C-alpha cells in the first residue's frame, strides 16, 4: 500500500477513494516534513533528470505498446536501453585508457 506521495509543487490532488489513506508531500513544503521525508525528496530530485533524459533519448516519450503490460514493457525497455548506453560509455572509456597505457609502455630492446 502507498503510505505517502512525494510530488512537485504543482500537484493539485488525486481521486483516490477515502479508504486509501496516504499523505501528500510537495516540493517546498515546510510543515510536518521529517528528515526521512526530506531525504526522500532529495532522492526524488536526483532521479528526475534521469527520467527526463530517458524520455527524450530512449523513446519513452510516446508509448506505442497497448495496455498495462505495454506500459510496463516500455518502461523496462527504456531503462534497459539507458543502462546499455551507460555500459557502452564505460567500455569506450576503459578501452581508450587501455590503449593509452599500451602506447606509453616502454619497448624492450632486443639484444
Determine the pLDDT at residue 91. Answer: 97
**C-alpha cell at position 23:** 499523505
Which is nearest to 26 in space by CA: 4, 49, 3? 4
Distances in Å between the alpha carbon of 67 and those of 71, 75, 87, 98?
Answer: 6, 13, 30, 46
| pLDDT classification of 34: cutoffs 50, 70, 90 | confident
- How many other C-beta atoms can be found within 10 angstroms of the C-beta atom of residue 27? 13
Determine the pLDDT at residue 109. Answer: 64
Q: Examine the pLDDT at 10 and tell me if it is beyond 70.
A: yes
Distances in Å between the alpha carbon of 19 and those of 15, 23, 45?
Answer: 11, 13, 29
pTM of the model: 0.52
| pLDDT classification of 110: cutoffs 50, 70, 90 | low
| pLDDT classification of 93: cutoffs 50, 70, 90 | very high
Amino acid at each position: 500500500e502507498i503510505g505517502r506521495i512525494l510530488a512537485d509543487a504543482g500537484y493539485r490532488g488525486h481521486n483516490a477513494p477515502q479508504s486509501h489513506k496516504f499523505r501528500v508531500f510537495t516540493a517546498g513544503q515546510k510543515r510536518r516534513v521529517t528528515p526521512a521525508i526530506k531525504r526522500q525528496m532529495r532522492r526524488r530530485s536526483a532521479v528526475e533528470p534521469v527520467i527526463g533524459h530517458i524520455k527524450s533519448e530512449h523513446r519513452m516519450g510516446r508509448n506505442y505498446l497497448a495496455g498495462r503490460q505495454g506500459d510496463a514493457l516500455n518502461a523496462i525497455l527504456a531503462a534497459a536501453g539507458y543502462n546499455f548506453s551507460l555500459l557502452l560509455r564505460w567500455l569506450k572509456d576503459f578501452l581508450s585508457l587501455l590503449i593509452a597505457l599500451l602506447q606509453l609502455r616502454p619497448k624492450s630492446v632486443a639484444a
